[in-house]
Structure 1
Amino acid sequence: MKLLLLLLLCIPAIKPQASADYDNEVVILIIINENKSENDKFYLIMCMAYLACEDSPQVDPRAHRPLDKRVEAAPTLRPVAPPISGTGYQPRPPKQDKQDMKKGPIIYPDAGGCKHPHEELVGVCLFSWKGAEDSIFFAKYNDIILSEYNTEVELHYNYIKDNLDNNIPSSLRVLRAVIDSLHKKIQKLENAIATQTDYCRSPCVASCNIPVVSGRECEDIYRKGGETSEMYIIQPDPFTKAYRVYCDMETDNGGWTLIQNRQDGSVNFGRAWDEYKRGFGNIAKSGGKKYCDTPGEYWLGNDKISQLTKIGPTKVLIEMEDWNGDKVSALYGGFTIHNEGNKYQLSVSNYKGNAGNALMEGASQLYGENRTMTVHNGMFFSTYDRDNDGWVTTDPRKQCSREDGGGWWYNRCHAANPNGRYYWGGTYSWDMAKHGTDDGIVWMNWKGSWYSMKKMSMKIKPYFPD
């Protein structure tokens, strides 16, 4: 009777957790020695019942949202085109040694004892050292060549004089008109600046210098000589406005454009759709140098990221660091973000690294349909005000971005959550989270659901043969 009472007390405590999160049930079999006394049996059963009735510890793989099979269909992956492929950039040309780049003295050719002033003037010899007859021959030949050059010079002189007398005056009149028009526009701009200055609280101050070299993206800048990791200005399309970005010129031969960075929790990533579209945060700051050498926390912007990945075949490097200083990375050789009309759909391929293939294979701790719920490849971008995730439900409260702290390519819901909430110290629990979910900066395949990274960044680079 006592045993039956204990079992009745324990079953309600265990069953709800099992039915909520798992498809499989665990049965514990207790074998009691018949030779023991009734009191020993009773105390042993009480101990086992106490262990069973204890509150179960929070299960690690929390990222998925379990199915209610009575009303929900099993999840399926969205079809997505593979990332843009092709040749892309040509391999970088080998760097020349600075000593090889120094110009040596020009040595003019020697033909028959005659020193020529330039290769194009072969045959023009004003002095000879092989005797009087040769000198007379070369002197006559020189007279003929010089006569031809005099004729050519006269023709050029007449052409220039004609332009000066006829064409230049009319061109000057046109230029004067253009200058007058520009002068009027400058006056309008000066008036507009004077008006705006009245609204300024203080004059703008540049905290650090911006390099002169710029390009389509950071790899282009690297090839033009910008080999210092700092903030640059890039312009992927000549018909769009240039913008600032941090370029990593050191990692894996440099040329990386930083599109996302988390490092200190200084920027809130729980933003709306339009903010993720445009981008937000602090690109870079000065770490004591005269240039912006230290990246800040920011999201570059979905429109910009999509544009950069459409230039040609692109790869993405995702780096992360825990609170012990250990580091891992995930490199995807193919990475394309589609435009806003396609809800910035994610397409990745060719994984390499030691962090785990969270984007393509989902959370390694889960299996079957639960794991399918955490695959990110093919997903649309979601924010708390634009629900495009794979959690198909009629309940508006069940939304991945709202529960998991940021905008991302959520499925139902995630194996990776780089834009989640920043938790100091790494380990956190469901009762610390706003909605009781694993909403930290998570990469499940490395640290599980309940560990938030100290640092995580995403950087892209055009693919080209090494």
Structure 2
Amino acid sequence: MSASKMKLLLLLVLSVSAVRGASDYDEDEEIIVALKPHVDARGHRPLVQGSERVMVSQPAPPPISGSVYRARPTIPPARSALRKEPEVQPDEGGCTHPSEELGALCPNGCELKSALLKQERNVRPTVAQLKNDILGLSQSSSIIYKYVEGLSNELRERQRQTQDNGNLVNEYTSDLEQHHIYIKQSIDTTFPSSIRHLRGVLDNLRSKIQKLETAITSQNEKCKKPCTVSCSIPVVSGKECEDIFRKGGVRSEMYLVQPSDSFFRPFKVYCDMTTQQGGWTLIQKRQDGSVDFGRRWDDYKTGFGNIAFDVGKGFCETPGEYWLGNDQISQLTKMGPTELLVEMTDWDGNKVLAQYQQFTVQNEASNYMLAVARYQGTAGNSLMEGAPQLFGDNRTMTIHNGMMFSTYDRDNDRWSPGDPVKQCSKEDGGGWWYNRCHSSNPNGRYYWGGQYSRDMTKHGTDDGIVWMNWKGSWYSLKEISMKIRPYFASKR
């Protein structure tokens, strides 16, 4: 069917509709007119003039305002007579519209399915390839993410290490600066002061060496002849110095005593008749280092040294360096209750004492075991309490009470008994009631000046004349003496 025929058909339909509508309107109008009286349009004036009533007209109501319809659409211009070639769509499907200008209608469901299936067959390999590509990209992205994360962690660790190294370098730099300051200060100040001090010590040592050389020369001159006691021994004698004092011997000098046991022969002693009302028997004396106390067991058993000598008064009133003898000491203390007095002097002239109201030394069968009690004094209770600088077992090892006597050839101490290398007497320079090893060492080596160092010793130990409770270690006393007498509960 052509387009012109369609236009004619539409005009025909519209005309029939309009005629039918006008016919319906006129029929209604005729019905209304039939109900009213007929009036001649031209003959409305009355025949008789003046008999017509004047009609007063009522005012008309206002017209309705507003609009029911919108404006009419603009009539499009007539189409050009030129025919437009229809555009053919690929795979358009469906049917063609009667009017060629309207193109192709939409495809039906089957055609649409066929088209979609056809396109799906073409698209599916591409989609599968895209999936594989996306999966590969995802795996690559995961690997790259882990690699980047590892690099980030390593970078943070390197940064932390760098920061730590920086802090360590700063710390070492600060320490080096402090050491540099210390070394510079030592070079500028400490070393010159130490050198001056060492020069003073060297001069002091030279002076002491000269004194020792003079003393050795003097001793050599005296020892060219056999040593003899040139002073006379007082006639008065007794069991011990207290007995002599009670018999009238009131001058401090050398006496001859014989304890009550007649098995022992009389022996010489020095009696102190002035200290604490006298009556003291001197059993040990150190004052100038003239006698070597590093002796064997037999020497300590019988005694050694110079008991006393004459300084020009005609009698032996000045005590020398000596050890009375363990047999004699044991014999004197076994006669009855005995007290011990230890007097000490340092190199500045200060003096202290340690006094024990009970003092006993057993016989040789018991290795001259020591027993002391009831301390009083100012030097410190070395024999019973040990070194105050130590604590616990270390301090207990320095207590001398209850110990047996030891010499370098008779080891009775508690430091590895039977071991010839570990011997207190061998290391500490003399015979004594050693434990492991000492807090006091009256029979040690004599050092001039008091202070001494490890390098000055024979075995690297504090082997001087030490009383640790007063002066501590590494200080050798100038003088020390040990005296005994019978103990009295009340004054004479």
TM-score tier (shorter):
0.5 to 0.7
- Establish whether residue 460 from structure 1 lines up as the match of residue 484 from structure 2: yes
* Aligned counterpart for 2:171 among listed residues 24, 41, 55: 41
* Aligned counterpart for 1:325 among listed residues 338, 345, 349: 349
- Name 1:210's counterpart in structure 2: 233
Give the Cα separation in 2 of the matches to 1:330 and 1:410.
18
Deviation at 1:233, TM superposition (A): 0.5
Amino acid aligned to 1:434: K
Give the Cα separation in 2 of the matches to 1:406 and 1:203.
26
The two structures have a TM-score, normalised by structure 1, of 0.58
* Aligned counterpart for 2:468 among listed residues 444, 451, 457: 444
Q: Which has the higher contact order (CA 8 A, sep 6+)?
A: 1
Deviation at 1:45, TM superposition (A): 2.7
* Aligned counterpart for 2:448 among listed residues 424, 449, 452: 424
* Aligned counterpart for 1:402 among listed residues 421, 426, 435: 426
Show the 5 A alignment for 1:278-427.
278-392=302-416, 395-427=419-451
Give the Cα separation in 1 of the matches to 2:446 and 2:254.
24
Deviation at 1:288, TM superposition (A): 1.9
SS of 2:456 mapped into structure 1: coil
Give the Cα separation in 2 of the matches to 1:425 and 1:304.
33
Give the Cα separation in 2 of the matches to 1:377 and 1:269.
21
Amino acid aligned to 2:238: G
| Cα-to-partner distance string for 1:288-329 (whole Å, 9 max, x where unaligned) | 211100000000000000000000000000111001100111
User: 1:445–1:212: structure 2 CA closer, same or farther, 3 Å change rule?
Assistant: same
Show the 5 A alignment for 1:84-123.
none
The two structures have a TM-score, normalised by structure 2, of 0.55
RMSD of aligned alpha carbons: 2.3
Give the Cα separation in 1 of the matches to 2:458 and 2:177.
36
Give the Cα separation in 2 of the matches to 1:377 and 1:288.
41
Give the Cα separation in 1 of the matches to 2:425 and 2:232.
37
Amino acid aligned to 2:254: M
Give the Cα separation in 2 of the matches to 1:280 and 1:206.
15
Give the Cα separation in 2 of the matches to 1:350 and 1:202.
47
SS of 1:431 mapped into structure 2: helix
Deviation at 1:206, TM superposition (A): 4.2
Larger Rg: 2
Instruction: Structure 1: give runs of 5+ residues left out of the alignment.
Output: 1-33, 55-200
Amino acid aligned to 2:326: N
- Name 1:222's counterpart in structure 2: 245
Deviation at 1:47, TM superposition (A): 6.3
- Name 1:245's counterpart in structure 2: 269
SS of 1:350 mapped into structure 2: strand
Amino acid aligned to 2:174: L
- Name 1:433's counterpart in structure 2: 457
Show the 5 A alignment for 1:146-161.
none
SS of 1:308 mapped into structure 2: helix
Give the Cα separation in 2 of the matches to 1:315 and 1:204.
33
SS of 2:484 mapped into structure 1: strand
SS of 1:423 mapped into structure 2: coil
Deviation at 1:396, TM superposition (A): 1.8
> Between Structure 1 and Structure 2, which shows a larger proportion of helix residues?
2
Deviation at 1:49, TM superposition (A): 7.8
User: 1:40–1:431: structure 2 CA closer, same or farther, 3 Å change rule?
Assistant: same
Amino acid aligned to 1:41: E
Give the Cα separation in 2 of the matches to 1:377 and 1:258.
20
| Cα-to-partner distance string for 1:365-385 (whole Å, 9 max, x where unaligned) | 100000001000000000000
Give the Cα separation in 1 of the matches to 2:387 and 2:240.
33
Give the Cα separation in 2 of the matches to 1:318 and 1:406.
18
SS of 1:386 mapped into structure 2: coil
Percent of residue pairs identical: 67
Instruction: Structure 2: give runs of 5+ residues left out of the alignment.
Output: 1-163, 187-223
Deviation at 1:210, TM superposition (A): 1.1
Give the Cα separation in 2 of the matches to 1:463 and 1:356.
21
